[in-house]
Amino acid sequence: MHETAPIAGSSTSTPARPRKARRTAATLVAALGLGLVPAVGTATAHAAPAATGTTSTSPVAAKATTTARTSLTVKRSTATTYEGRKGARLSIRLRNADAPVDGRVKIYDGRKLLRTLTAADRNDDGRLTLSYRLPKKLKVGKHTITLKFLPASSTDASTAKRTTKVRVRSEGDLVVRTAKRYVGTPYRYGGTTPRGFDCSGFTSYVYKKAGVAKLPRASSAQRGSGKVVSRKSARPGDLIWTPGHVAIYVGNGKQIDAPRPGKSIKVRSIWQSNPTFLRV
């Protein structure tokens, strides 16, 4: 048996690979393990191309609806009223630029609800004027009147709020205010008009002018026209009576009266020593 001699320059063992080739093979194996390179015989997934003329976008948020702003203004006919008399009239104006005014107006005296008004704009022009007179029964003192507009739909209009202040005075204050108009009017015996007054002619005229009461003409008869009150309890507008003379109390120890011939109506200190105070 003959052994075959190897061919010169050849070897039966696998020739050694260059270092660069070994590094490339190692990198490829690692990539296969991580799934970065598809294995032989597997299909590569490709995204389907977008249809011609279409664009993929995120949904657009709907535009927020802006609530129309409603303006509310209020004017009063007077800042001062008197107990038992007509209250101040309120002129209420509503305006809504983007929609007809529709809702209610609530009117409060402090926390007390006085009235609820319907606010419906029949002309659909976004403007509306309402009117309301405050009640006669408001107590003497200062009052904060609050008006609130409540829309029928919160998407068509906003709420609105305004306040105004009024003062209710007593009838006695009205008597004093009326009496002071005639300061400087001369005393005239038997006088019952602004051309000239005597004491009882003055008091009877003032009470009638103020709309408080109709007093008898003579001072002696006026003594029985009201309820006697103490000096400490006396209020402005009460009568001050002494035999043969009558005056009107203005408060703080003072009175207004028609004094005597040669004098005129004026406010002065109470000079009577023991007068009777009468509340009519």
Q: What is the pLDDT of residue 252?
A: 95
Tell me what pLDDT residue 220 has.
95
pLDDT at 8 over 60: no
Q: Are strands 80-82 and 160-169 parallel, antiparallel or unpaired?
A: parallel
Q: To the nearest whole number, what is the mean pLDDT of the chain?
A: 84
Residues forming beta bridges with residue 90, ordered by sequence position: 76, 132
Mean pLDDT of 54-67: 50
Q: Which domains does the chain have, with CATH numbers?
A: 70-169 (2.60.40.2470), 172-279 (3.90.1720.10)
What is the C-alpha separation between 3 and 7, in angstroms, rounded? 12
Which of 48-57, 59-68, 213-222 has the least mean pLDDT?
A: 48-57
Q: Assess contact for 255 and 268: CB atoms under 8 A.
A: yes
Report the distance separating Cα 261 and Cα 249, nearest Å. Answer: 21
pTM of the model: 0.67
* Beta-ladder partners of 257: 266
SS3 of the chain:
CCCCCCCCCCCCCCCCCCHHHHHHHHHHHHHHHHCCCCCCCCCCCCCCCCCCCCCCCCCCCCCCCCCCCEEEEEEECCCEEECCCCCCEEEEEEEECCCCCEEEEEEEECCEEEEEEEEECCCCCCEEEEEEECCCCCCCEEEEEEEEEEECCCCCCCCEEEEEEEEEECHHHHHHHHHHCCCCCEECCCCEECCEECHHHHHHHHHHHHCCCCCCCCHHHHCCCCEEECCCCCCCCCEEEECCEEEEEEECCEEEECCCCCCECEEEECCCCCCEEEEC
pLDDT of 66: 62
The predicted structure's pLDDT at residue 65: 54
Q: What percent of the chain has pLDDT over 90?
A: 69
The arithmetic mean of pLDDT across residues 36-41, rounded, is 46
